Structure 1
Amino acid sequence: MWKIDTGMGRECVTISSVATDLLLSSLHWWERRSTRMTVGIPLLCFLVLLPLNIPWSQISVTWLGVVHFLACLSPQLGSVVYHLFMNHEGGEPVYKTLLTLDMCGICMINTLGALPIVYSTLLCYPFTRTVALLMYILLSGYAIYCAITARSRVRRLRSFAWQALFRFSFFLLRWVGVGGGSPTSLRHFLTMDALAVVGGVINITRIPERFRPGLFDYWCNSHQIMHVLVVGSILYLHWGVLDDLLWINTYHCPTD
Structure 2
Amino acid sequence: MAATVGKEVEAARRGDEEEERKEGKRRRYGLVEYRALPVYLRDNEYILRYYRCEWPLPQVLLSAFSIHNETLNVWTHLIGFFIFLVLTIYTATKVPNVVDLQSLQHLPDVLRKADLHKIQTELVACLPSLPHLSDLQKVKDELRSSWNSIEVLPSLSRWHLLELLSSCLPHRFTHSNETSLSVLQSMKEDIANMIAPQLIRPIARWPFFAFLGGAMFCLLASSTCHLLSCHSRRLAYIMLRLDYAGIAALIATSFYPPVYYSFMCYPFFCNLYLSFITILGVATIAFSLLPVFQNPEFRTIRACLFFGMGASGVIPVIHKLILFWHQPEALHTTGYEVLMGFFYGIGALVYATRVPERWMPGKFDIAGHSHQLFHVFVVAGAYTHYHAGLVYLKWRDLQGC
Q: TM-score, normalised by structure 1?
A: 0.84
Tell me the equivalent position of 1:100.
241
Match of 1:247 in 2: 395
Q: 1:11 deviation in Å? A: 8.2
Amino acid at match of 2:76: T
Q: Which moved more, 1:194-203 or 1:52-61?
A: 52-61
- CA distance in 2 between partners of 1:223 and 1:241 (Å): 27
Contact 1:71 1:108 in 2 (8 A): yes
Match of 2:78 among 25, 40, 43: 40
CA distance in 2, matches of 1:171, 1:52: 27
Tell me, yes or no, if the aligned pair for 2:32 and 2:52 is still in contact at 8 Å: no
TM-score by length of 2: 0.56
Cα distance in structure 1, aligned partners of 2:54 and 2:363: 28
For the residues of structure 1 that align with 2:281 and 2:85, how far apart are their CA atoms? 24
Q: Which secondary structure does the structure 1 equivalent of 2:331 belong to?
A: coil
Q: Name the structure 2 match of 1:25.
A: 60
CA contact (8 A) 1:117 1:241 kept: yes
Unaligned runs of 5+ in 2: 1-24, 34-49, 98-201
> What corresponds to 1:18 in structure 2?
none
Q: Which has the larger radius of gyration?
A: 2
Tell me the residue number matched to 2:224.
81
Deviations 1:119-159 (A, max 9, x none): 11212112331233222211221122234433411111222
Q: 1:242 offset after TM fit, Å? A: 1.4
SS in 2 for 1:176: helix
Whether contact under 8 Å (1:4, 1:10) holds in the other structure is: no
Match for 1:138: what amino acid? I
Q: Mind listing any 5+ residue stretches in structure 1 that lack a counterpart?
A: 16-20
Residue 59 of structure 2: SS of its match in structure 1?
Answer: helix
Cα distance change on mapping 1:98 and 1:131 into 2, 3 Å? same
Alignment equivalent of 1:142, drawn from 283, 302, 306: 283
SS at match of 1:87: coil
Shift of 1:162: 4.2
- 2:28, 2:286 → 1: CA distance? 30
Cα displacement (A) at 1:80: 1.0
Equivalent residue letter for 2:72: S
Between the two proteins, the alignment pairs up a number of residues equal to 245
For residues 352 and 307 of structure 2, what CA distance do their matches in structure 1 show?
15
| Distance (Å, rounded) in 1 between the aligned partners of 2:88 and 2:398 | 22
Q: Which residue in 2 is equivalent to 1:227?
A: 375
Alignment check: 8 A CA contact 1:147 1:159 kept: no
Root mean square deviation, CA, Å = 2.8
Q: Secondary structure at the match of 1:159?
A: helix
Matched, 1:164 2:310: yes
Contact 1:146 / 1:156 at 8 angstroms: preserved in 2? no
How has the CA–CA distance of structure 1 residues 123 and 33 changed in structure 2, closer, same or farther, with 3 Å as cutoff? Answer: same
Contact 2:208 2:256 in 1 (8 A): no
User: Quick check: 176-185 or 67-76, which moved more?
Assistant: 176-185
2-structure distance, mates of 1:168, 1:110: 13
Contact 1:56 1:62 in 2 (8 A): no
- One-letter amino acid matched to 2:392: D
Q: Which amino acid aligns with 2:218?
A: P
Q: Which of 199, 209, 232 is the equivalent residue of 1:66? A: 209
Equivalent position amino acid for 2:270 in 1: R
Q: Displacement, 1:71?
A: 2.1
Is 1:57 the counterpart of 2:205? The answer is no
Q: 1:82 to 1:130 in 2, by over 3 A?
A: same
Closer, same or farther: CA 81–215 of 1 in aligned 2, 3 Å: same
Other-structure match for 2:7: none
Matched residue of 1:224: which SS?
helix
